[in-house]
Amino acid sequence: MQADFRRIAVLGAGSWGTTFAKVLGDAALARGDHAAHVTVWARRAEAAEEINGEHTNVRYLPDIALPRNVSATVDAAEALQGAALVILAIPAQSLREQLREVSSAVEPGAVVVSLMKGLERGTDARMSEVIMQELAIAPEHLAVVSGPNLALEIAREEPTASVVAAADESVATAVAQAASAPYFRPYTNTDVAGVELGGIVKNVIALAVGICDGMGMGDNTKASVITRGLAETTRLALSLGGRLETMAGLSGLGDLVATCSSPLSRNRTAGRLLGEGRTRDQVAEAMTQTAEGVKSAPAVLHLAAQRGIEMPITEAVVAVLEGQITPEQMGARLLGRDLKSERPAKETH
């Protein structure tokens, strides 16, 4: 695919949307493309004014300077005008509604990239599926970015690798080239379902790890949850057409380890608060950013049940979120399961 991504729109001025705008801006400057420009759509006028005037977004990225080729607007249609590359960094549960409001402003033939890691409640749809439904675009014009994407670390220009997945490999390559900054190395993949599911389920497993953290559990416990969580993720991904090697890569194991181990992880933080005894509502009040796993966990469990996939960690996390069991009872439930082989001779996919 020959792509001219000199005009780029990023919808969403949170930590990851702003960080990815910085990545795209820095990538353009690094390759000497001084005509490229990134426009961020922000809901809050104060955020847009700060990005334009101070080249910062301190609410989400303190002490981070944005490149001069990144600007912002509160008008989504203005951001989308002429944009051949559209990046979506909108909370998963409000994506469909937002796309309906802006669909007419998306340029025909634009490549749309999802940064979201969630399942839509009520439909169990992945974000790529919501995007294709609402924008009526072909799979060949859609890509997803996933991997160990802790926004603040990337914004600090700490070396990071990630994955760009698209059904059309040339589209994945074009997006990867556009986002190839000196500190950000994108790999390509054509396993869209596997890459998305790795990013979705790891949030739920990070909640479980956070719960263990909040209860004062040690590294043995957390390593056990991470490892068995990867097994759960793999079973679900394979049942939906994902590939095994994807689960062992950056968007599977890599993202899971980062999200479960970093204090910067919103989902691990939410889990820790649950483990300390707070309710889901109290956790939401304490968090300044969305922990997608809290809202996606029931959808993940519902999707797994439809496919006949056993996901005991996810089931236990949902039970804690819904107040059916306490964190202490979660541990007892998982340890009390029937004994079996770590690698069953035959699994249901």
Residues in the chain: 349
Q: Which residues contact 118 (CB under 8 A, 6 or more apart)?
A: 91, 92, 93, 127, 200, 203, 292, 295, 296, 299
Q: At what angle do helices 312-321 and 292-307 cross, to 10 degrees?
A: 130
Catalytic: 202? Answer: yes
Q: Which residues of 215-235 are buried (b: 16+ CB within 10 A; e: fewer)?
A: bebeeebbebbbebbbbbbbb
Alpha carbon distances (Å) from 87 to 187, 221, 269, 333:
17, 37, 26, 41
Cα distance between residue 197 and residue 307, in whole Å: 14
Q: Which one of the listed residues 22, 117, 202, 295 is annotated catalytic?
A: 202
Coil, helix or strand at residue 225: helix
Please tell me the distance from the alpha carbon of residue 249 to that of residue 246, in angstroms, as a whole number.
5
Residue 37: CB partners within 8 Å, gap ≥ 6? Answer: 6, 7, 8, 69, 70, 71
The β-bridge partners of 112 are 86, 142
* Contact between residue 88 and residue 115 where contact means Cβ atoms under 8 Å apart: yes
Cα–Cα dist 113/134, whole Å: 14
| CA atoms of 275 and 188, how far apart (whole Å) | 37
Positions annotated as catalytic residues are 202
